[in-house]
Amino acid sequence: MKALIFNTPGGTDVLEYRDVPDPILTPGHLLVKTEAIGLNYADLMRRSGVYPLSGEAPYINGYEGAGTVIDANGQIGFSAGDRVCFADVPFANASLVAVPADHAIPLPAGISFETAASVMLQGLTAQFLTADCHQVREGETVLVHAAAGGVGQLLVQVGKLLGAKLICLVSSAEKKEIVQALGADAVFTYNENWVSAVQAHQPEGVDVVYDSVGTTLKDSLAATRVRGQVVLFGLAGGSLDLGNPLLLIAESKTITGGDLWNYLTSREERIRRSAELFGWLGSRQVRPARPHCFQLSEGKAAHDFMESRKSTGKILLIP
């Protein structure tokens, strides 16, 4: 099979597209021919050596994708030709992937491979953030950091369909237009005094802040109402600034964290959560941005494009 591999961590120059042995199926696994593979920031971190890698060199990166079962390997409920997708299966940057049956999510006929590979990781993240870390309710006011990013755009749309008011933060005027088109009630940029702008727009403070930056945590707390909540789900800023913890006590505010892998703990959880996501997509209440597609052989260019931070939609690798 063909795969995007690297032998040592480093820059994008370490990536190679070449033939490697097909996966060896073991009990409990399906053999899936990938049709679309999601590229995520974590893949860049693994390639550069910041995040740990699975297996041994040559390393195959990637965890998210969609494709067709070509060998069900005796797994009940699956047959050759079934369309499936996954969010948490290693070695996905290849034309063939051995997928644990418990991790294979049946893909509805109305959802394309490209859409599935675009939303599995980010869409399921938006689902658990709004249903578990903080259950967004009708009439609440929600503040979303990096709202033009992959998870950010989905959070805006999910928040709106749940009946919330959305205040969003972005890094540029171009991204401001993208988020406004999604129905955000107010959008501010990071290069202005956004805390004051949020407070002027919502004097009592917002009910919840979804913060994926980390260095903004102190300001997120300042924008939150008494007894409000900040949900931290990323550290794109590279560090965490908590500020004065006594303010948490004085104003009864809560900081919580969320990681998708603590929620995708069983096949039943994957099916239940993805069913809600697929329902949003099928009804077109949630519309992911059009993905940027690269051939798997163009993996270096795809990584370079993601590192340039010029993309606003998902980046896909097509075998």
What element of type H or E holds 2? strand 2-6
Domain CATH for 30:
3.90.180.10
Q: Are residues 183 and 105 in the same domain?
A: no
Q: Flag whether 312 is in a domain.
A: yes
The strands making up 2-6's β-sheet, listed across from edge to edge, are: 16-19, 2-6, 59-60
pLDDT in tens, 38-63: 999 889 999 999 888 888 899 999 99
Domain tally, the chain: 2
Give 268-295 pLDDT, tens digit per residue: 999 999 999 999 999 999 999 999 999 9
Length of the chain (residues): 319
Domain with 237 in it: 138-257
What Cα–Cα distance (Å) separates residue 243 from each residue in 67, 210, 213, 220, 233?
Answer: 46, 17, 15, 10, 18
State phi, psi for 161 to the nearest 5 degrees: -70, -20
pLDDT at 236: 80
Q: With bands split at pLDDT 50, 70 and 90, how would you rate the model's confidence at 246?
A: confident
User: Residue 190 is part of a domain; what is its CATH number?
Assistant: 3.40.50.720
Within this chain, do residues 169 and 244 fall inside the same structural domain, yes or no?
yes
In a domain, 132, yes or no: no
pTM higher than 0.85 = yes
Round to whole Å and give the CA distance between 298 and 149.
Answer: 22
Q: Are residues 282 and 222 in the same domain?
A: no
Contact present, 210 and 236 (Cβ < 8 Å): no
Query: What is the predicted pLDDT for the residue at 311?
Result: 76
- Is 296 a domain residue? yes
Q: What is the pLDDT of residues 112-145, one digit of tens each?
A: 999 999 999 999 999 999 999 999 999 999 999 9
